[in-house]
Structure 1
């Protein structure tokens, strides 16, 4: 694990005076928060952090009935659940606008499907230096298992912030969308880490620098090689091609 730790200057480059946004992108259950801590992406230069699940958890307090507790959130009527998500998104967008108006650096986590990508685009337009980390897994059923485990742990009385209640179909769709849009996502970031978080510890796959050069294990790799490394993590592509996914070559 120690060999994979990335120092913050590696992400940002020296001497930047522009405000910065550090965005962590990944499917629900990919382990964005884990990667944020493991790769030291919670550096003090980003004193403000926006996390959809954390803010949704806080907003649940607006519902007074105990049945709306975290462990029962999946039982909420669809209209109430959608309203809660809409409210959470509105709060986060408003806070991001406030940070940008004040030219403050901040960080965020997004699944891409939660409607928060406009924050990244706004920040770029506002002159922010935008850095990113894309958190992937080899198989969307890894994500599904993690979310189920969180829900089970919650029912045992443990405090779990991320009570994701996405159903399996939504997880699969989110995973597919992340993989399908990965190159467009990369274009939004001046620098970026691509991380495989399929196992016990996250593993750095690629690093993209501001000049567009990719590195694997700190060794420069061609664009074609970088694309292959990414493609080898695409569950649906590997399955449809008949390949046995994720066999080390």
Structure 2
């Protein structure tokens, strides 16, 4: 069992690690469920004070309450990543609640949860725009807002975006999603080039197929056979990578992607 998933044992098993001790973090976009919830739990277990942002206010509050019950510092806030006003309010709210900000994590994304999976010539323009909104535009907006905070504080900062292997592989029937995830990698590289001297880093955790409620609803799971390790990834495994990228253990790493795909991207055509 992953040490972040068992509420009763989290504090006892992980207090000695505390890789994010003293860090003030905002987990934005789906922080109360799926991969976002796993990241929230992991950050609390590793000593970070966390603001959980989710479009569902009850879900955000429940996630924060669960951490506080274990003695961790956490707050829940509601906001829609499609709204610039909401994004700026979520970042400002995190700064107010935590007394500053050291880490930004962007999580929410996808295509099949928002629009149909179709070939490119069949895709409606409005659907392309939707995928842009929920995969790339909100990240750029959140990153801009966080950068302003980091620069004003003068003590650096770390940004981690949950991306996808479709950002560097073909994405049949999900062209928009692949394009936006490729954009995340470009954004991370540019942020790194522009702000490394200010002590600001940005990296991407590029996930393959992960067993979430959304993924389960999107198909029958038969494509698991295409994963060399023979199973889907777990949200906690992505969260562990995000913790690493947010911690000082990865201090010499910026503008990079950490791939978690069960070997999909390195499988040969005759494997």
TM-score (norm 2): 0.42
> Relative contact order, CA 8 A, sep 6+: which one is greater?
1
